[in-house]
Structure 1
Amino acid sequence: MMLSSPDKPTVLVVDDTADNLTLMAALLKDAYRVKVANHGEKALAIVASGSIPDLILLDIMMPEIDGYEVCRRLKANPATRDIPVIFLTAKSDEAAEAQGFSLHAVDYITKPISPPILLARVRNHIALSVHTQMLQSLSVKLSRYLSPQVYKSIFEGTQDVSIQAVRKKLTIFFSDIKDFTKTSEHMQPEDMTYLLNSYFSEMSKIALEFGATIDKFIGDAIVIFFGDPQSLGVQDDALQCVRMAVAMQRRMAHLRSVWHDKGYRQPFHVRVGINTGYCHVGNFGSEERMDYTVIGSEVNLAARLEQNGEPDGVILSYETHALVKHEFDAEECAPLLAKGVSREIRCFALRNLHTADAPAAGVDLRYPGLRLTLEPEKLSPEARLQAIEDLQSALQVIRSQA
């Protein structure tokens, strides 16, 4: 809700007694723009017309619909529910007052009206409303500097803003733009800003759709992780991360076409690396300035994978591949020797990444009483027919025991 006038806030006075309307309008006119309504329907019509007041003084006892019903309708409408409502009434019993507050009125003034009390209450509640709006606006602005999950957990009080971290098994995503420095040297700053912001915006939308925690942007690189502050479980976190990476690369193919049509000769090509492992995640920094992020050797490994990946591709560590191989088709690459990592890194590159109906690797089911590994692309036509018969027989056995 925004103030109706840059000079004077607007107060809507609703009362079915003409003398009361005249009195309150006279009291308020020097400091406020005053609108009046002599019944509830008229008040609702004024508000519905788009003339949103900054505060409503609302009589309770009115014909046709009373003040309680007017307030109830206002609070049921998202466009008007934040308007402060002060009830005016000759009723002074606690039950009437309690009913008013249960409808989320901000105050309750009894008749006969005391001018000093009326002016003080109106002034205080409009000032409080303005302050609340400022805080809400600031909150929205701050939310753009935090991942939505982190922002929500902080404002809901489920996460403390203090220097602390926990050890969790996460799936970490790294991406960067191939030859970004070289590409940027041949572009005007305005064009580079447009392309980079378009890229970040599109990738961020996809990340949020898949429930990712966006860690940070480092130059042209994006760091994302799954598993904190919300988690679907280690395997599902990994699956969501890889699904997100595929969606991003497919979106990049579309963006390159759009950028090319706009005259950009060197549209971006992105590399992606994904790893799963134990990391420390939480708030790091000082008491004055901290960052909610993830650290550890597994994070570095994800970065090394990305640096050795192919443009427009997705490369997975062995740990991530093991969690997602039943859904995604990948081929093992030559082991990597990366700086800072003492062992050879087994890695897998996703296949059929840019095919609309990219087939999964098959089926890999393993739990007590059942073990099934299926790679249909390796079956000959004869073997496929035999497999169908065998699987149907297996289904009959399972159903007979159900």
Structure 2
Amino acid sequence: MKMLGFAEKPTVLVVDDTADNLTLMAALLKDTYRVKVVNHGEKGLAVAASSTPPDLILLDIMMPQIDGYEVCRRLKANPATRDIPVIFLTAKSDDEAEEKGFELGAVDYITKPICPPILLARVHNHIALNVRTAMLHSLSNKLSRYLSPQVYKSIFEGDQDVSIQAVRKKLTIFFSDIKDFTRTSEGMQPEDLTYFLNSYFSEMSKIALEFGATIDKFVGDAILIFFGDPETRGVQEDALQCVRMAVAMQRRMHQLREIWRDKGDRQPFQIRIGINTGFCHVGNFGSDQRMDYTVIGSEVNLAARLEQNGEADGIIMSYETYALVKDEFDAHEREPLAAKGVSREIRCFVLRDIHAPDAPPDNLNQRYPGLRLSVDLDKLSGENRSRAVADLQKVIDSIQASTI
């Protein structure tokens, strides 16, 4: 007889120091299960942690040197064996002994002398339950691939209700796409296109998750990401994390292009990134049968318009985002953007020095709270150079005086 989820008979490990009990257990179980028997707790631990672990353990409590309670405690402390169901076998029938067994992680408790029908029924039920639990765990892991980790976590922990509802929040929205994707993809074989596109999405997703982003969706070659829901670090820090992520993505794309060229790609991808901060509606949208956890609103559309008007390998942001990140990032303002569906002109800021390596301590471009320093030695000459030295010395004197 094969059980659901098993290609062959499930394995039951019996741990008992009495030879007669081992013989009885083996005789009762052999027609339905593969049976392994050991007469010592240490041997039981070794078999459980082997490359072919059992699907269930029948464990005697009263054994010399190491009793069943200690064996169970060690099994549950080891990540490799903690999910194996344990049923205690014992002549002890008091409530205290039974309670202790369950506290240690046992799933059941059978008293001696053994009643064969009860033993077989409980072994069958717990193995079947363990199979269903494993199947649900596998299904849960697969479903998690279709949801952002934060959304998945909030649903499975009960913080997020699966119903059509949305809330208004101030979020930072990120859009990216691949420049000239249609033209580039026309010259590629489908297999190559699939490889490069999936590599691109995988690398960008890793970076997004490292920075705590909520990945909304992939649409063709575009990526929609937002910060501020279902988890937030505050509006300013959400915006900073988004821009930091965008910079990391562009730098990673520079590295990927070198890798892709080595693989024969003659037109490596270049991406454009647009970022905007504003109030949006975020939550479940759709029908009772099919819904999507996403973000909507004019501020989302604005982020998309910014991205569409950005430069390849660049990052363009709205004034609302720039105002939140200007102490850490340097950007220059470009001509205002007239976006379809937006009545006002949109102030745009393009991030500088995206592809510059991480600055060493003595770099002439430094930005952090309380200090913004940018020196271009090629443009600084003559009278301006002397003036710069004097101004910098005043700053140094002021800083040193304030620390005395």
After TM superposition, the score normalised by the length of structure 2 is: 0.93
Query: Do the aligned residues in 2 keep the contact of 1:281 with 1:294 (CA within 8 Å)?
Result: yes
Q: 1:36 to 1:364 in 2, by over 3 A?
A: closer
Corresponding residue to 2:397 among 385, 389, 395:
389
Query: Do the aligned residues in 2 keep the contact of 1:330 with 1:361 (CA within 8 Å)?
Result: no
Tell me the residue number matched to 2:375.
377
Q: 1:4 to 1:158 in 2, by over 3 A?
A: closer
What is the aligned length? 387
* C-alpha separation in 2, matches of 1:163 and 1:298: 21
1:222 aligned counterpart, secondary structure: strand
Query: Do the aligned residues in 2 keep the contact of 1:331 with 1:348 (CA within 8 Å)?
Result: yes
Q: 1:86 to 1:364 in 2, by over 3 A?
A: closer
Deviations 1:128-169 (A, max 9, x none): 000000000000000000000000111111111111100000
Structure 2: stretches of 5+ with no match in the other structure: 377-386
Residue 380 of structure 1, CA deviation: 1.2
Tell me the residue number matched to 1:362.
367
What amino acid sits opposite 1:362 in the alignment?
Answer: R
Tell me the residue number matched to 1:212.
213
Deviations 1:301-324 (A, max 9, x none): 000000000000100100000000
Query: Do the aligned residues in 2 keep the contact of 1:4 with 1:10 (CA within 8 Å)?
Result: no
1:215 aligned counterpart, secondary structure: strand
* C-alpha separation in 1, matches of 2:322 and 2:185: 34
Tell me the residue number matched to 2:285.
284
2:204 aligned counterpart, secondary structure: helix
Tell me the residue number matched to 2:31.
30
* C-alpha separation in 2, matches of 1:28 and 1:327: 68
Residue 283 of structure 1, CA deviation: 0.5
Tell me the residue number matched to 1:221.
222
Matches within 5 A, 1:40-55: 40-55=41-56
After TM superposition, the score normalised by the length of structure 1 is: 0.94
What amino acid sits opposite 1:32 in the alignment?
Answer: Y
Query: Do the aligned residues in 1 keep the contact of 2:284 with 2:293 (CA within 8 Å)?
Result: yes
* C-alpha separation in 2, matches of 1:362 and 1:134: 51
Residue 390 of structure 1, CA deviation: 1.3
Residue 341 of structure 1, CA deviation: 1.1
Residue 51 of structure 1, CA deviation: 2.1
2:375 aligned counterpart, secondary structure: helix
Residue 361 of structure 1, CA deviation: 6.7
Deviations 1:63-109 (A, max 9, x none): 11000000000000111100000000000000000000001100000
What amino acid sits opposite 2:302 in the alignment?
Answer: L
Q: 1:167 to 1:338 in 2, by over 3 A?
A: same
* C-alpha separation in 2, matches of 1:342 and 1:361: 37
What amino acid sits opposite 1:310 in the alignment?
Answer: E
* C-alpha separation in 2, matches of 1:111 and 1:24: 12
* C-alpha separation in 2, matches of 1:380 and 1:204: 44
2:337 aligned counterpart, secondary structure: coil
Residue 377 of structure 1, CA deviation: 3.1
What amino acid sits opposite 1:291 in the alignment?
Answer: D
* C-alpha separation in 1, matches of 2:219 and 2:48: 47
1:335 aligned counterpart, secondary structure: strand
Query: Do the aligned residues in 1 keep the contact of 2:365 with 2:374 (CA within 8 Å)?
Result: no
What is the percent sequence identity of the aligned residues?
76
Q: 1:364 to 1:119 in 2, by over 3 A?
A: closer
Residue 360 of structure 1, CA deviation: 6.4
Query: Do the aligned residues in 1 keep the contact of 2:5 with 2:131 (CA within 8 Å)?
Result: no
Tell me the residue number matched to 1:370.
none
